[in-house]
Structure 1
Amino acid sequence: MSGFRDKDFGDRLSTAENARKAMLERVRAKPGADDPAVAERRATRQAISTAREARLAEREAAKIAEQAREAAEREAQQAAAHEQRLSQEVAEAAERAEKAERQVALEAEQKAARDARYAARKARK
Structure 2
Amino acid sequence: MKNSRSNDLSDRLGASAQAKAALLQAHRSAKEAAEPTRTERQAERLAVAAARDERRADRERQKIAERTRLEVEAAEHQAAINAAAKAEIDARKAAEEGRISRVIEDEAARKAERDRRYANRKARQA
Q: Which TM-score tier does this pair reach, normalised by the shorter chain? A: 0.7 to 0.9
Q: Using the alignment, how far apart are the partners of 1:118 and 1:15 within structure 2?
A: 141
RMSD: 2.4
Answer yes or no: is 1:93 the counterpart of 2:87.
Answer: no
Deviation at 1:57, TM superposition (A): 1.3
Q: Which runs of 5+ in 1 are unaligned?
A: 1-9
Aligned partner (choices 32, 47, 50) of residue 50 of structure 1: 47
Deviation at 1:113, TM superposition (A): 1.9
More contact order relative to length (CA 8 Å, sep ≥ 6): 1
Equivalence for 1:80:
77
TM-score, normalised by the number of residues in structure 1: 0.73
Equivalence for 2:103:
106
Q: Using the alignment, how far apart are the partners of 1:11 and 1:76 within structure 2?
A: 88
Answer yes or no: is 1:17 the counterpart of 2:10.
Answer: no
Please give the per-residue CA displacement for 1:60-98, whole angstroms capped at 9, x wherever unaligned.
Answer: 111112102211220121122113212321231122112
Q: Which runs of 5+ in 2 are unaligned?
A: 1-6
Aligned partner (choices 13, 25, 30) of residue 28 of structure 1: 25
Q: Using the alignment, how far apart are the partners of 2:14 and 2:69 within structure 1?
A: 74
Please give the per-residue CA displacement for 1:39-69, whole angstroms capped at 9, x wherever unaligned.
Answer: 2243123212311221121111111121022
Q: Using the alignment, how far apart are the partners of 1:113 and 1:45 within structure 2?
A: 101
Indicate the structure with greater helix content.
2
Equivalence for 1:68:
65
Aligned partner (choices 108, 113, 116) of residue 116 of structure 1: 113
Q: What is the count of residue pairs matched by the alignment?
A: 114
Deviation at 1:110, TM superposition (A): 2.1
Residue identity over aligned pairs, in percent, reads 14
Deviation at 1:121, TM superposition (A): 4.6
